[in-house]
Structure 1
Amino acid sequence: MSEDRFILLDAGASRPTSIPLPPGTTAKAGAADTDGRFTLVENHDGDALPHVHTFDEIVYVLDGELGVEFDGATHRLTEGMCAFLPRGVTHAVRRLSDAPTHALQLCTPGGWDGHHEDVAPYGTRYGVDGEITENGDKSRFYVLAKGEARPGRLRVPPAFSSKVRSTDTEDRLSLLEMVVAQEIPRHVHHKADESIYVLDGELLVEFADRVHPVTPGQFVLLPHGVRHALRPGSTPPPRVLQISSPGGWECFVEDLIEARSRITTGGRFDARKLNPIAAKYDITYEEPS
């Protein structure tokens, strides 16, 4: 059943893995959880030699300072910054000081848990003994400052900041940093799974007629095909990272912003007005009887 795919992990908890993870690393979602579209791990004090992946890697800094070495330059990443590291191109992620670091590592397609073991262990080749063969596109690399978003069809409020668009990942996923300032009414994603990592505040997640408070460091995966709702449980409202897999949520947000005056009643989303737009993205909102 789709409900069985629901995941709610406490801060610091890890999904079971078939291979050992490095110390200080926890698995939030593996390739088996996401139909191979992505994996998500949380790292403390990560430090890596130059290497090449068979998957794209997104690094989002939660706390501390990381140096991303790419194409002869070192990019300094601090809290709230992220980098997109394309597959097939040499890079390294290092601590820049002795201070602790804390980051999320998103891989697409799923990589670290053996999804690509037919290519190389962990889908990774290290440059310890010489040159690394590169076959990637360096132009796909980018770094986003805190609060910065990927450009889209139109400019949206900072509360909906696209860090990775579906066009960046061949539609496998999109990643948004969002502030959930109002209730998102009950709805069903017919194709896309929705995953959320809470950065600040408390998010109330209604799933299968139960309400789950989700607080900083907790992770939840909401499988497609099951009704759910979201609403703020704190003041100020919660700030989260939201992964849509397959991607497309960022395009839906753009359509909502563009049509906002036509899809709200009394300042709140109106399901009857919302559904004609949502249908384009295989989403159905529950309309009042």
Structure 2
Amino acid sequence: MRFFLLPAGGSRPAPTPPWAMVKATAEDTEGRFTLLEVNGEVDLPGRVQEVADEFVYVIDGAVEVDVDRTTHHLTAGMCVMVPRGVPHAIRTAGAPVHALHLLSHGAAGVGGKVDRGYVLARGEVRPGRIRLPPAFGVKARSSDTGGLFSLLEVTVAQPIPRHTHHVADECIYVLDGALEIDFGGTTYTARKGQFVLLPHGAPHAIRPGSAPPPRVVQISTPGGWELVVEALIEHRTEVSKGGRFNPTALNRYTTPHHVTYDTP
């Protein structure tokens, strides 16, 4: 079973530069992505990633990213998508930076084109089929990544009942607060700075474990979780009543996306 919960500051057993910790290796994710937690001063000179997209989400501090002869200054809450095949450089801007750095492997369904890259300001989201509430900030859609991953900034405000992702792994990094996770008959608590990998095919449930509720970065790989969120928000009066989800109603809209909820 590939499930694991890393402590804050923890790293997977893999070679790593002094300014980073490995939250998930390619082996952990069945070759889909590698995730680094950057904490320090970084200077990655101009280079080209031929086999991986790069996505950087700044938690604190600042970085400068050079893409196509333009320098982007990213501060807390901002992020950048750099497609494979595009020359770029990344470096800290003054004080050390705290960030998540995701390298998405695999054969993406789109090529390395500059117009597939983007920078999002704090609070800015990728456009979707419908407008989502502020609790769901879509930072990378499946259509942005060739289907390889989706990445959302989420506030987990109500319990998510026991369910199974039949295709995609769910990975969560806690930005603030505490998240409770029921997995394999045990309840785990993930706090600020912790990372958990929930493999596909394994039932689990999550719920807020703090007040205010936890804020997390949620990665789905392969992508598509934003489509599930859009469907549930569109039918929110049917799937949720009194702050509780109805598993039977949820399944009407999540089953087409390979997610099913346990029903009584």
Find the residue that maps to 2:45 and give its secondary structure.
Answer: coil
| Aligned position for 1:8 | 5
| Mapping for residues 169-208 of structure 1, pairs under 5 Å | 169-208=145-184
| Mapping for residues 56-71 of structure 1, pairs under 5 Å | 56-71=53-68
Find the residue that maps to 2:64 and give its secondary structure.
Answer: strand
Q: How far is 1:67 from its partner?
A: 0.6
| Aligned position for 1:102 | 98
| Bigger Cα Rg | 1
CA-based RMSD:
1.1
Q: How far is 1:265 from its partner?
A: 3.0
* Letter of the structure 1 residue corresponding to residue 204 of structure 2: H
The C-alpha deviation readout for 1:63-114, integer Å capped at 9, x for no partner, is: 10111111111111000100001111111111121x121111001117xxxx
Q: How far is 1:227 from its partner?
A: 1.0
Find the residue that maps to 1:253 and give its secondary structure.
Answer: helix
**1:239 maps to which of 215, 222, 233:** 215
**1:212 maps to which of 184, 188, 192:** 188
Pair 263,136 (structure 1): closer, same or farther in 2 beyond 3 Å: closer
Work out the CA distance in 2 between the residues paired with 1:211 and 1:46: 36
The C-alpha deviation readout for 1:212-264, integer Å capped at 9, x for no partner, is: 11001100000111110010011110000001111110000000000011112
Q: How far is 1:60 from its partner?
A: 0.5
* Letter of the structure 2 residue corresponding to residue 196 of structure 1: I
**1:85 maps to which of 76, 82, 94:** 82
**2:234 maps to which of 258, 261, 272:** 258
Q: How far is 1:276 from its partner?
A: 1.3
Find the residue that maps to 1:74 and give its secondary structure.
Answer: strand
Find the residue that maps to 1:153 and give its secondary structure.
Answer: coil
Work out the CA distance in 2 between the residues paired with 1:71 and 1:283: 39
Q: How far is 1:267 from its partner?
A: 3.4
| Aligned position for 2:47 | 51
Work out the CA distance in 1 between the residues paired with 2:240 and 2:190: 27
Work out the CA distance in 2 between the residues paired with 1:138 and 1:201: 36
Q: Does 1:282 align with 2:258?
A: yes
Work out the CA distance in 2 between the residues paired with 1:223 and 1:179: 21
The runs of 5 or more residues in structure 1 that have no matched partner are 111-134
Work out the CA distance in 1 between the residues paired with 2:70 and 2:202: 45
Contact 2:158/2:243 (CA < 8 Å) preserved in 1?
no
Q: Percent identity?
A: 56
Q: Please report the TM-score for the alignment, with normalisation by the length of structure 2.
A: 0.95
The C-alpha deviation readout for 1:141-161, integer Å capped at 9, x for no partner, is: 100011111001011011111
* Letter of the structure 2 residue corresponding to residue 108 of structure 1: S
**Higher strand proportion (structure 1 or 2):** 2
